[in-house]
């Protein structure tokens, strides 16, 4: 056999030159795992070696691996990309009142988000972009391990799939950057490294009670698949949840923007007419078997919390009482549903929560929503 063939024997499972088997090595499966995983993503691995001199392992990986979805933002006119992976939600501060909602804990800015304080990091201050007081109209809620913080920027643009290009040797060491990308218009944008940004801003990424992530991994709960869930008060204090990936957007709309179209409530939303479904009405209907009296005032006072859902290519808005939180949890511990409109009840965030049956609600014949929208031309958002 040729020397290349002999070298490639290393990649065969079970081939080992170790005299002793330890708990981390010696079984001869390591290299097989390496080769399989690399080839699985379309790459290749090659060995070059010279006795007495050394060995070189060349791993080739196709560039397409380095495409990530990212949110493009602007601060002081410059564009930055933030990997979607660390992004939990966006909060828009009221125009003309960017001070509202932001409080100071002895000089450290925080934002009250659904009852919890979110430490704020101003991008223009971290990157020293602005000489005057740091500013911004939008807060990106970012998460690193178990800690969340808000990144304040001027503008938020779209989510895009970007190709991550590494920075040169002089810039590699700057921990707030993960790389750079070339945008569709040929312009460059820097990609922010969220853990690096948190570190430089002084945000500790351990969990608040001092336990590190390693400790919580011993918790058997973590061995079961967790998913991100949106917790909300559906109606009259009923704690409910839907998977985060079923949600298109979370919105707080002005009650005065709600209009009537026949018997239904709608709102003009991003260039389309969004049908609104009052969750309390729907859940009441299902239980009684008849239409509940319409005791909801029109137009609704103040603002309304809306979960914008996409079903079969159409958008719907579910009006809920309040949005509680976004959590990551398992739905292991559960019992079957106790009413229609619900899939099951599970322990989420340490409390019993009903999992909303989104498809079921949207297909409710009383709503007539699905039938009517067939006639409309809907432009996907």
Partner 1 sequence: MFGVESQNIQEVLRTVELTEVPLAPKAIAGLMNLRGQIVSALDLRQRLELNDRQKAHPPTGVVIRTVDGLMGLLVDGIGDVMDVDESTFEESPETLAPQMRSVIVGVHKLKGNLMHVLDTSSVCDLKGLQDAKA
Question: Would you tell me which residues interact with partner 1 (CB under 8 A)?
Answer: 78, 127-129, 165, 167-171, 174, 176-177, 180, 182, 186-190
What are the φ/ψ torsions at residue 95 (nearest 5 degrees)? Answer: -60, 140
| 72 or 176: CB nearest partner 1 | 176
Q: At closest approach, how far in Å is the CB of 200 from partner 1?
A: 9
Nearest to partner 1 of 54, 168 (CB atom): 168
Q: Are 273 and 326 in contact (CB under 8 A)?
A: no
Find the largest Cα–Cα distance for the chain.
87
- Residue 68 or 304: which CB sits closer to partner 1? 68
Quote the CA–CA distance of 278 and 266 in Å, as a whole number.
11
Least Å from the CB of residue 193 to partner 1:
12
Distance CA(342)–CA(359), nearest Å, equals 10
Number of H helices, E strands in the chain: 8, 25
Structure-token pair, residue 314 = 């159409």
- Rounded CA-CA distance 239/230 in Å is 11
Tell me how far, at minimum, the Cβ of 188 lies from partner 1, in Å: 4
Min separation Cβ 128 and partner 1, Å: 6
Give dist(CA 72, CA 183) in Å, integer. 10
Q: How far is the CB of 153 from partner 1 (least distance, A)?
A: 13
Nearer to partner 1, 29 or 129 (CB): 129
Which residues on neighbouring strands pair with residue 336, listed in sequence order? 344
Minimum gap (Å) between residue 204 Cβ and partner 1 = 21
Smallest separation (angstroms) from partner 1 to the CB of 236: 50
Q: Provide the 3-class DSSP secondary structure of residue 358.
A: helix
- Residue placing its CB nearer to partner 1 in the complex, 189 or 362: 189
Which residue's entry shows tokens 């081939």? 15
Q: Are 227 and 331 in contact (CB under 8 A)?
A: yes
* Cβ-based nearer residue to partner 1, 189 or 320: 189
Using CA atoms, how far residue 275 sits from 155, 234, 272, 306, 325, in Å, is 28, 17, 10, 11, 24
C-alpha angle 30-20-217 in degrees, rounded to nearest 5? 55
Residue closer to partner 1, measured from CB, 180 or 304: 180
Q: What is the sign of the dihedral through the CA atoms of 265, 270, 272 and 277? A: negative
């Amino acid at each position: 056999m040729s020397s290349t063939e002999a070298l490639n024997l290393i990649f065969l499972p079970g081939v080992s030159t170790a005299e002793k088997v330890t708990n981390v090595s010696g079984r001869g499966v390591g290299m097989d795992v390496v080769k399989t995983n690399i080839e699985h993503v379309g790459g290749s691995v090659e060995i070059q070696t010279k006795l007495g001199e050394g060995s070189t392992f060349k791993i080739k990986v196709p560039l397409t691996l380095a495409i990530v979805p990212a949110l493009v933002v602007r601060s002081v006119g410059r564009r930055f990309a933030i990997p979607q992976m660390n992004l939990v939600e966006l909060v828009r501060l009221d125009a003309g009142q960017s001070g509202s909602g932001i409080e100071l804990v002895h000089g450290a800015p925080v934002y009250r988000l659904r009852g919890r304080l979110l430490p704020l990091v101003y991008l223009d201050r971290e990157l020293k972009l602005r000489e005057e007081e740091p500013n911004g109209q939008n807060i990106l809620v970012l998460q690193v391990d178990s800690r969340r913080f808000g990144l304040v920027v001027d503008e938020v643009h779209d989510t895009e799939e970007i190709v991550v290009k590494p920075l040169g040797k002089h810039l590699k060491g700057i921990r707030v950057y993960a790389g750079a990308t070339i945008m569709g218009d040929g312009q460059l944008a820097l990609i922010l490294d969220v853990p690096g940004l948190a570190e430089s801003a002084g945000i500790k990424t351990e969990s608040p009670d001092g336990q590190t992530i390693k400790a919580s991994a011993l918790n058997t709960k973590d061995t079961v698949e967790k998913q991100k869930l949106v917790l909300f008060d559906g109606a009259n204090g009923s704690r409910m949840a839907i998977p985060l990936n079923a949600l298109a957007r979370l919105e707080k709309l002005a009650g005065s923007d709600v209009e009537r179209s026949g018997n239904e409530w709608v709102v003009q939303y991003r260039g389309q007419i969004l049908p609104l479904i009052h969750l309390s009405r729907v859940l009441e209907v299902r239980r009684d078997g008849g239409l509940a009296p319409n005791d909801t005032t029109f137009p609704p006072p103040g603002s309304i919390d809306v979960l914008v859902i996409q079903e079969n290519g159409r958008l719907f808005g579910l009006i809920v009482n309040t949005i509680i939180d976004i959590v990551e949890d398992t739905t292991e511990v559960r019992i079957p549903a106790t009413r229609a409109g619900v899939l099951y009840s599970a322990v989420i965030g340490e409390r019993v929560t009903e999992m909303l049956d989104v498809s079921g609600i949207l297909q409710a014949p009383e709503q007539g929503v699905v039938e009517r929208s067939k006639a409309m031309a809907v432009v996907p958002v």
